[in-house]
Structure 1
Amino acid sequence: MQRFFISREFYVRKRVFKVFPVRTTAYLQILSCKFIIGSKARLSKKQATVPVQPVITKSAKRRQVCQLILDQFEQQYSKELGPLWLSAKVVLLNPQCWQYGVMLNRFTSVADITRILKLQGFTSILPSSVIYTLDPVDTHTPQPDTHPPSILSTNQSLPFQNLPVPIPKHNSEPSSHHNPPPMPSADPGPFPRPSPSPHPPPVPSLQCLIHTSPVRFPSQSHRPGQLKQYYLLNAASLLPVLALEVRDGDRVLDLCSAPGGKALAILQTAHPALLCCNEVDPNRRDWLVKTLESFLPHSLSDTVTVCNLDGRTFGESQPGMYDKVLVDVPCSNDRSWLFSTLSQQGAPRLRERRNLPNLQTALLRSALQAVRPGGVVVYSTCTLSRAENQEVVEAVLSSVPGAELDDLEEELVLPLSDHFTFAPPGHAPSGILVVPHPGKTWGPMFVSRIKRTH
């Protein structure tokens, strides 16, 4: 493999980089916003190098703000959030200062990448009180340095159909389960628990590392047959997974699963008996499958399923079949909508925005149908909009018998307030709302947990 050194010696202000081959070590500069905007501050060579695949950074086009959407946000959020909107707007309008979390993949060796991250100043965002470590296994057994093959490491494609389907196995590796569990149907029966594997998987432990500065860590490219070591994400997107509290043996539904980051996070926290990843949009479903195949080993091929049902009718067709349901609904994604590529997209998106609460309400009702009595549904969005957050939850709570709001203050807000800016309870009485803030640029993210009592 040829190795490269990526230099920022000159043309930093124009974001143009030189590439030089070297013999023994691959380096990639980790660039913060300060470098891109032309600061003379420099990292030491030890701090600024990371062993990765060759990467060439090209000059990036400056994002253009859609003024029509910004005006709408300004009008709405200044009323709903007050002074919180002023700091949130500063962050949302400056993508170069957005922070990114690095979620480690427990299904492959991450010792090297963890060491690199810590040398760069990355630290865990999750205190020990919220890191799930469940079934005890022999943690002293060293993990191999080689990367295990992925769950889809051949040229097989996932057969998309309107029922959950198991992710196909690699032909050369036999499954540890002789009989796969039956697929969910309209006439549900109890899901059998998977047979124990002769080689226990790693201990579940959700690990996400962050940096106090907007440091850019490189994405890993997909390599057929090998698993990626980490997934880059907005760290606030882990909050719905933490609120879901998945435990070993749970039957879990991710109702709007693409692109798959939350599904991956669920599998970092526990060994569910079933994780059904649903995505109705064909293109997003393809994206979901590519994500799963890049991070999951063959041993999960009988546990993880992908389906493409309409989420609004999912609960009706499979009532009470799941212990936990995550419904991360389509929403007016504040970060991306502000930077619509064409000014013409502003008006159609604002029209779509008016219709989103109806869709979101239908999805949340469906999720509550799909969960068993005593089970939990977590509703989440990545918008600050009260109409898509608070009002949707309130409408469902008032119209669905047996739906009961569950408080997240002590469980998430108190232990994570050093890393996230949470809106005061009066702004989101039916959940928690993460508001972007300079230095804590995570969010927007709204999370609400609802128990089905009967």
Structure 2
Amino acid sequence: MWLLRRSLAASCGLWRGPSPAREQLESEGKPQKRICQVVLDHFEKQYMKELGEAWSSVRDVLTSPLYWQYAVLLNKFSYFPELENNLHLKGYYSIFQENLTYAPGSLKCYISRTPGRFPAQKHQTGKLKEYYLLNAASLLSVLALEIKDGERVLDMCAAPGGKSIAMLQCAWPGHLHCNEYDSQRSRRLKQTLESFIPEPLMNSIALSELDGRQIGDLHPELYDKVLLDSPCSNDRSWLFSSDIQQATLRLIQRKELPAVQVELLRSAIKALRPGGSVVYSTCTLSKAENSDVISHILNSCSNILPEDISELADAVSDEFTVVAGVQPHELLVLPTKEKAWGPMYLAKLKKM
């Protein structure tokens, strides 16, 4: 148990599992991993209670990678019109329409209705990649943050780097601090940024390997915006746990996670200047790691208020299965067969 608590104390270094895009890349030409029954049984019990009838459809998507979809986020620093033409020819279209006020015109992301995956690009030293493959739902936390040019921004748990890349497509912050506690994941983060951002701009991005829980004390009231894409029980990855021992450890970790998430969010709030905003996000459906964490903060922090993002939820409901009935400051995306994005939870808070 001591080792478990030590691993959880690593905060942003907690294992969150590979991204679905990387999972599929690594599994090409190899047998698909099998569903771990121990994790599935746990999810069945929890999510039938929390999601009701919706769980059946969500379960089918989570347990079948063939349903999974991958978005293509274009890199404005290495833009080629031929790429967009190629995407159109293959049936891809822009996921964020011009009437979406949350999405700046510089953010270009393409999706297809057909499950599948656009070819990945390999890292080449000195050459910028043209696009980044990701779960489109992960962009919603970046949009909710509404970054403006010149703002001081903290990406608190930044690896593998997709959301940092998306931030830089939306605006150019006056200062961007990308933090990742785990050294291996931090190296991956650095490589990702170097693959997408020109070297002169890389010089103005700060990279660190700090324990996320300490950042608020180290940099109090420094940032205009903070993104806390928190370590969580990654529902997609955990269903494919390699063995019973690994699955059992992860389910034990799951009980400890909310306490760590609350500590991280408190630190993020300390790092915010008065009037600043924080977006908290996870890639799990777990109520304990999502709305319960936010409720705890709202009930215990007198200087924090919820920020309404219902307009964003309404605006993206054509492309994402957004859960109805959540609080105005929250957004929960369920993966379904027609719209296999997510799971993704996010909430926005403002410091008074």
Q: TM-score, normalised by structure 1?
A: 0.70
8 Å CA contact retained: 1:78, 1:85: yes
Aligned residue number for residue 318 of structure 2: 418
8 Å CA contact retained: 1:318, 1:370: yes
8 Å CA contact retained: 2:321, 2:334: yes
* 1:25-78 Cα shifts (integer Å, max 9, x gaps): xxxxxxxxxxxxxxxxxxxxxxxxxxxxxx9x9523122001111011000000
- How far the C-alpha of 1:430 sits from its partner, in A, is 5.0
Gap change, CA 1:430 and 1:66, over 3 Å in 2: farther
8 Å CA contact retained: 2:310, 2:329: no
Gap change, CA 1:64 and 1:237, over 3 Å in 2: same
Alignment of 1:196-345 (within 5 A): 205-345=106-246
- CA distance in 1: counterparts of 2:346 and 2:102, whole angstroms: 19
* 1:229-253 Cα shifts (integer Å, max 9, x gaps): 0000000000000000000000000
Q: SS where residue 160 of structure 2 aligns? A: coil
Aligned residue number for residue 10 of structure 2: none
Give the aligned residue type for 2:47. Answer: Y
- CA distance in 2: counterparts of 1:131 and 1:295, whole angstroms: 25
* 1:199-234 Cα shifts (integer Å, max 9, x gaps): xxxxx6111100001122110011111000000000
Give the aligned residue type for 1:267. Answer: L
Which of 244, 252, 275 is residue 374 of structure 1 equivalent to? 275
8 Å CA contact retained: 1:132, 1:206: no
Give the aligned residue type for 2:100. Answer: V
Does 2:314 align with 1:408?
no
8 Å CA contact retained: 1:131, 1:206: no
Q: How many residues align?
A: 327
8 Å CA contact retained: 1:368, 1:377: yes
Gaps of 5+ in 1: 1-54, 135-203
- CA distance in 1: counterparts of 2:74 and 2:203, whole angstroms: 23
Which of 44, 47, 50 is residue 77 of structure 1 equivalent to? 47
Aligned residue number for residue 4 of structure 1: none
Aligned residue number for residue 100 of structure 1: 70
Aligned residue number for residue 431 of structure 1: 330
Aligned residue number for residue 124 of structure 1: 94
8 Å CA contact retained: 1:435, 1:442: yes
Gap change, CA 1:129 and 1:371, over 3 Å in 2: farther
Alignment of 1:19-168 (within 5 A): 59-130=29-100
8 Å CA contact retained: 1:423, 1:435: yes
- CA distance in 2: counterparts of 1:335 and 1:366, whole angstroms: 27
Give the aligned residue type for 1:124. Answer: S
* 1:129-153 Cα shifts (integer Å, max 9, x gaps): 336687xxxxxxxxxxxxxxxxxxx
Aligned residue number for residue 294 of structure 2: 393
- CA distance in 2: counterparts of 1:271 and 1:236, whole angstroms: 22
- CA distance in 1: counterparts of 2:249 and 2:106, whole angstroms: 42
- How far the C-alpha of 1:401 sits from its partner, in A, is 2.0
8 Å CA contact retained: 1:325, 1:371: yes
- CA distance in 2: counterparts of 1:132 and 1:386, whole angstroms: 26
8 Å CA contact retained: 1:328, 1:380: yes
- How far the C-alpha of 1:415 sits from its partner, in A, is 1.2
Gap change, CA 1:78 and 1:132, over 3 Å in 2: closer
Q: SS where residue 54 of structure 2 aligns? A: helix
- How far the C-alpha of 1:395 sits from its partner, in A, is 0.5
Aligned residue number for residue 359 of structure 1: 260
- CA distance in 1: counterparts of 2:207 and 2:107, whole angstroms: 22
Does 2:249 align with 1:348?
yes
Which of 332, 335, 342 is residue 443 of structure 1 equivalent to? 342
Give the aligned residue type for 1:83. Answer: E
Q: SS where residue 387 of structure 1 aligns? A: helix
8 Å CA contact retained: 1:105, 1:268: yes
Q: SS where residue 59 of structure 2 aligns? A: helix
8 Å CA contact retained: 1:431, 1:447: yes
Q: SS where residue 376 of structure 1 aligns? A: strand
8 Å CA contact retained: 2:329, 2:349: no
Give the aligned residue type for 1:337. Answer: W
- CA distance in 2: counterparts of 1:250 and 1:299, whole angstroms: 18
- How far the C-alpha of 1:83 sits from its partner, in A, is 1.1
- CA distance in 1: counterparts of 2:54 and 2:147, whole angstroms: 32
Q: TM-score, normalised by structure 2?
A: 0.90
Q: SS where residue 122 of structure 2 aligns? A: coil
Give the aligned residue type for 2:262. Answer: T
* 1:69-102 Cα shifts (integer Å, max 9, x gaps): 1011000000001111111001001001100000
Give the aligned residue type for 1:216. Answer: R
- CA distance in 2: counterparts of 1:384 and 1:95, whole angstroms: 17
- CA distance in 2: counterparts of 1:216 and 1:321, whole angstroms: 39
